[in-house]
Amino acid sequence: MADNEKPPAEPTEQAEQAEQQPDDSGKASPAPSQCQVQATLQATDHLVGRIDRLISTAAGEERAFAAISYFSHALHHFLGSAPGIAIQTRLGLLARLRNHSEKALTTAPTTPSTQSSPSRLLALSSLFSETRYTLRLFGLVPLWTWGSQTLKSPPSDRLIYSLTLLQIIANVLYQALENIGYLASKNIVSKRFVDRWGGIDKFYLWSTRAWFGHIVLQFVVLWRQHVLRKAKAALMSQEKKEEVLAGEVRAWKKSLVNNLFWAPLALHWSFEKGIGIPGSVTGAGGFMAGAWGFWDLWASTLS
């Protein structure tokens, strides 16, 4: 036998080696239910992480609260409308048919009650709306920063610079009047002082008018930005234009959509009796106004 040849293992050695090797045949694969639970937990963890990233900023928190407030308000009115009742009735009938219940099959579908859930939806909308009022008590702080940055680094275009200053003034008036009215409604600011100027509703009314002024000014800003962008694009090649201006155009369109939805609502709320917009559509309008911005913030939580 050559020196480099290894003699065959003895039977006892082979048996010991076989005992030491792990036996995978006895291990059972995870049950489908366990895999489903694990997948559900992972999906839940991913979703909660995205929600946490969304509400970790003041802008994200405000967007989330606004979306819940306006959506629940819109859903309340939809469930009480004829199409909403028809959909609920049809879904109820389908549920009965799926259960294969004799009693359900012989019972005529009834109109679903819309009293309990919609009232809860309105309560939810009111809760988040009031929470937003509370958070906006600090709204004058970022407005100060906006004004300070504008004065230190003014826009190159004189018209946009002037419009921005007017928007800052309009927003300061809006926020200050809203804060006074809200604090007076909570008996923090003297109601005698507020009543001397027309009462709490007057403060809210003029606050909304100042906000509407900001919206009107924003339309002028958007027009001016469009003019300046066209002039800039004329000096660029097509490839450079698409690369440089794509983000600007998207942000411009998003601001325009936001303004188009808010303008009629702000105008409606600027008059004591409104301009005829039904209260049932104000929630939907408010939700649509911020939907694009909310979607962008939600998409950013993936990164």
Q: Is 7 helix (H, G, I), strand (E, B) or coil?
A: coil
Q: How confident is the model at residue 117, as a pLDDT?
A: 52
- Round the average pLDDT of the chain to a whole number and report it: 86
| CA 284 and chain centroid, separation | 13
pLDDT digits (tens, 9 = 90+) for 235-280: 877 777 777 788 889 999 999 999 999 999 999 999 999 999 998 8
Stated as kind and residue range, the H or E segment containing 206 is: helix 200-233
The answer to whether residues 200 and 194 touch, using CB atoms and an 8 Å cutoff, is yes
pLDDT average, residue stretch 35-48: 91
Residue 292: predicted pLDDT: 93
What span, in angstroms and rounded, lies between the C-alpha atoms of 234 and 266? 36
- For residue 34, what pLDDT is reported? 81
pLDDT at 236: 77
- Per cent of the chain over pLDDT 70 is 83
Which pLDDT value is given to residue 23? 54
Q: What is the pLDDT of residue 17?
A: 52
Q: What is d(CA 287, CA 291) in angstroms, rounded to the nearest whole number?
A: 6
| 56 pLDDT higher than 70 | yes
pLDDT at residue 29, rounded to an integer? 64
Query: Residue 30 has what pLDDT?
Result: 65
Categorize the per-residue pLDDT at 84 as very low, low, confident or very high, splitting at 50, 70 and 90.
confident
- Identify the residue with better confidence: 242 or 112: 242
This prediction's pTM: 0.79
H or E segment to which residue 62 belongs = helix 58-79
Per-residue pLDDT of 119-142, as tens digits, reads: 899 999 999 999 999 999 999 999
Using pLDDT thresholds of 50, 70 and 90, give the confidence band for residue 19.
low
Q: How far is CA 112 from CA 56, 89, 121, 179, 277, in A?
A: 39, 6, 16, 41, 27
Residues 32-42: what's their mean pLDDT?
86
Structure tokens at 149: 């940055």
CA distance 169 to 163: 10
Name the pLDDT band for 1 (thresholds 50, 70, 90).
very low
pLDDT confidence tier of residue 214, bands split at 50, 70 and 90: very high
